[in-house]
Amino acid sequence: IDAGLFGMALYYFISMGTNSAMMIRQTMQLDVNLQSAQRIMDYTETQQEAPSEMYNDAAVVKEHGGVWPSKGEISFQNVFLRYEGTKRYALNGLDFTAQPGSKIGIVGRTGAGKSTLLQALFRMVEIEEIPGSQIRVDGVHIKRIGLEMLRKNICIIPQTPIIFSGTIRRNLDPFNEVADAKLWEILEEVNLKPYIERLEKKLDTDITVSSSIFSAGQKQLVCLARVLLRKSKILVLDEATANVDIETDEFIQKKIKEKFSDATILCIAHRLTTIADYDKVMVLEKGRIEEFDHPYKLLVKNPGDNYISNKQGMFARMVIKNGDKIANKIFEIAKDSYQQAKKNGTIY
Ligand code: ATP
Ligand code: MG
């Protein structure tokens, strides 16, 4: 081969290397840039939530004398719910009414649909459209009102405590509606005042940068404080499974009973002792209500029995599984509360 020809071939061969490297870089750049376009496409296709305000919101509030809900009655009628992309119903024909002021404990195995029930109440997931299927709060069909009004007026303490980014003040009072003195008062009530007073910036401490300044239990207390600030006639709580110590747990329960004595409470409980003195216990299984009655009545075959006689009952079996000592304790609490309720005429 001619030396000149070989030189030229070599020259082109070397520049091909740089060019192909350039080509690969360009292709990668194109891929990255197109991802942004794809993401925007995805956002435009995301299913939208229902409107946050509806034209008759104000009328509903007026009808109920200025505050909604004014009594706190919750009624589920033939409610079915299925998460998007799944076949199985997470709620399978739920039908119950929570009387104003009643305290209802919800129990059931993991995956039974307990949290889903709360999701349905807040319309985080919409229920199946079936004639006659609806959720009413104080007689108001919750699909007929705006999401903002619905969610603002039901208090919740979620399973995992939610802390917003920003300052402590913003976490307690996101809409800046309350004076500082009131905030401190509430913090004192939940035993967080001494701790926050010791922080350098007090209420203005940024939680985002130092998310570790609160332990899991303290976060739960922040949620409790938030709920106490916005007291309403309905409180739902999804009890934390593991991350809170028993002392904090008992403290939260005590505070809630004290402060929400006239409100309707739906409490998803993992420790059965918490709900032993509730007005009713709902046992969920695969999205259905299996049992729904006063805990004492679920534990005995005949009212008046002095031991857990309804051994086959689902709730009774759950109680017995806790061992004799705890089971007896739950039974005694339930029995006392039943007798007390009978005396006061508050059997729901
Ligand atoms: P746990 O005691 O563990 O909190 P749970 O009773 O609250 O359980 P849910 O979270 O209500 O259970 O779940 C009920 C059913 O719905 C389960 O079968 C679960 O797999 C399903 N599920 C829950 N959330 C979703 C979701 N976002 N998408 C699809 N399926 C879901
Ligand atoms: Mg749950």
Sheet containing 288-293: which strands, arranged edge to edge? 155-157, 234-238, 264-268, 103-108, 280-285, 288-293
Ligand 1 center from residue 121 Cα (angstroms): 15
pLDDT at 171 over 70: yes
DSSP 212: G
Ligand 1, atom 21: nearest CA belongs to which residue? 90
Ligand 1 center from residue 90 Cα (angstroms): 7
Instruction: Give the model's pLDDT for residue 98.
Output: 92
pLDDT at 302 over 90: no
What does the pLDDT average to over 119-130? Answer: 91
Instruction: Give the model's pLDDT for residue 266.
Output: 93
Nearest Cα neighbor of 287 from 64, 28, 6, 87 is: 87
d(CA 220, CA 239) in angstroms, rounded, equals 10
Instruction: Give the model's pLDDT for residue 210.
Output: 58
Q: Is the sign of the CA dihedral 159, 165, 171, 175 positive or negative?
A: negative
User: 62 exposed, middle or buried (CB, 10 Å; 0-12, 13-18, 19+)?
Assistant: exposed
| Bridge partners of residue 293, in order along the sequence | 281
| 115 Cα distance to chain centroid | 7
Tell the residue number behind the tokens 């409100």, with chain if given: 263
pLDDT at 48 over 90: no
Compute the CA torsion angle 330, 333, 339, 344 (nearest 10 deg).
-130
Pick the ligand that lies closest to the CA of residue 116.
1
d(CA 237, CA 263) in angstroms, rounded, equals 13
Mean pLDDT over the full length of the chain:
87
Q: Copy the structure tokens of residue 314.
A: 């689902």
CB distance 81 to ligand 1 below 6 Å: no
Whole-structure pTM value: 0.82
Instruction: Give the model's pLDDT for residue 230.
Output: 84
d(CA 95, CA 1) in angstroms, rounded, equals 91
Ligand 1 center from residue 155 Cα (angstroms): 21
Instruction: Give the model's pLDDT for residue 341.
Output: 86
What does the pLDDT average to over 311-337? Answer: 90
Residue 117 CA, closest ligand 1 atom number? 11
Ligand 1, atom 11: nearest CA belongs to which residue? 113
Instruction: Give the model's pLDDT for residue 280.
Output: 92
Nearest Cα neighbor of 295 from 309, 311, 316, 312 is: 316
pLDDT at 325 over 80: yes
Q: Copy the structure tokens of residue 345.
A: 């005429």
Ligand 1 center from residue 117 Cα (angstroms): 10
The one-letter amino acid code at 178 reads V
Instruction: Give the model's pLDDT for residue 134.
Output: 92
Phi and psi dihedrals of 162, rounded to 5? Answer: -100, 125
Instruction: Give the model's pLDDT for residue 243.
Output: 61
SS3 label, residue 132:
coil
What does the pLDDT average to over 240-259? Answer: 78
**197-230 tens-digit pLDDT:** 877 777 777 776 655 677 777 888 888 888 888 8
Query: Is-contact 273 103, C-beta < 8 A?
Result: no
CB distance 115 to ligand 1 below 6 Å: yes
Residue 287 CA, closest ligand 1 atom number? 14
The one-letter amino acid code at 301 reads K
% of the chain exceeding 90 in pLDDT: 36
Inter-helix orientation angle 246-259/216-229, to 10°: 0
**180-200 tens-digit pLDDT:** 888 888 888 888 888 888 777
